[in-house]
Amino acid sequence: MAGPLMPPAPGGPAAAAAAPAAAARVLPGAATVGGTLTPAQIEKTRKSAQEFEAMAIGQLLQPMFSTVDTSKGMFGGGKAEATWKPMMVDEMAKMLAKSGGIGIADSVMREMLRIQEGQNADK
């Protein structure tokens, strides 16, 4: 489920062009959002917020996977499994964030846009 600022956008010019309108629509009362930022800047901010959410989700998932006894599992545990398990958890977190996550990215993006707009207004 995608949040209001995190539409499942495949990227590209169409997604970047829609970003200012989406930001202005989601942030009522913030008339300048999207006014001084380019579509590319808004898209970069959206991606950064999504990456931050993926990192946070990964940190939440890591302890869950560290308590699983894999010695009796399909792959039998071992050093190789210990090596790839954190990578698997990171990829799971990225997929969760990409599909809407837990709502962190929306708040982070909103705040990042507010700060960027404020910096642009001071110039």
Residue owning tokens 């507010």: 114
Write down the pLDDT at residue 69. Answer: 79
pLDDT score of 92 more than 80? yes
Instruction: Using alpha carbons, list the distances in angstroms from residue 1 to 13, 75, 82, 116.
Output: 23, 32, 31, 27
Alpha-carbon span 17 to 38, nearest angstrom:
9
Write down the pLDDT at residue 7. Answer: 44
Global pTM? Answer: 0.65
**Rounded to 5, what percent of the chain is helix, strand, coil?**
65, 0, 35
